[in-house]
């Protein structure tokens, strides 16, 4: 039991230390995974009353939480990329200009 607690504390500290190296989208995905995993584990235990249900609930909640966390990251203005076509017909990507943000295509 002592090894399990020590391992959990070490993993939590390592995760907290590495969180500063991630982008906002990665941080939100990680936070969503943690919250979703904890919620899924609680729901799995409440419904199944066994370890397998808890593990399945934690895994499903973590995946769903990470997806929601990543998808709900707000995009800052001028960080989105748009596709443009130059006068020779070549398509390229570049930061979106005011026409995109003002919906004046």
pLDDT one-digit tens code per residue, 24-68: 778 888 899 999 999 999 999 999 999 999 999 999 999 999 999
Model-wide pTM > 0.85? no
Same domain, 36 and 57: yes
The verdict on 44 and 30 lying in the same domain is yes
pLDDT at 25: 79
Query: Residue 4 — pLDDT band, cuts 50, 70, 90?
Result: low
- 67 and 82 both lie in a single domain: no
Identify the H or E element spanning 85.
strand 81-85
Which DSSP helix (H) or strand (E) runs through 64? helix 51-71
How many CA atoms within 13 Å lie on the side-chain side of 39? 13
Instruction: Say yes or no: 91 and 54 in one domain.
Output: no
Q: Which of 93, 36, 92 is nearest to 67 (CA)?
A: 36
Range of the domain at 29: 2-74
The structural domain count of the chain equals: 2
Pairwise CA distance, residues 105 & 101, whole Å? 9
- Rounded to 5 degrees, what angle do the CA atoms 40, 3, 57 make? 10
Instruction: Look at residue 17 in the predicted model and tell me its pLDDT.
Output: 62
Residues 51 and 100 in one domain: no
pLDDT band for 10, please (50, 70, 90 cuts): low
């Amino acid at each position: 039991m002592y090894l399990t607690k020590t391992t959990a504390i070490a993993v939590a500290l390592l995760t907290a230390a590495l969180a500063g190296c991630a982008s906002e989208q990665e941080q939100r995905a990680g936070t969503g995974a943690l919250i979703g995993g904890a919620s899924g584990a609680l729901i799995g235990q409440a419904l199944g009353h066994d370890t397998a249900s808890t593990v399945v609930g934690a895994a499903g909640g973590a995946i769903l939480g990470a997806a929601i966390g990543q998808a709900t990251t707000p995009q800052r203005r001028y960080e989105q990329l748009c596709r443009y076509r130059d006068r020779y017909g070549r398509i390229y990507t570049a930061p979106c200009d005011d026409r995109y943000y003002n919906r004046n295509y």
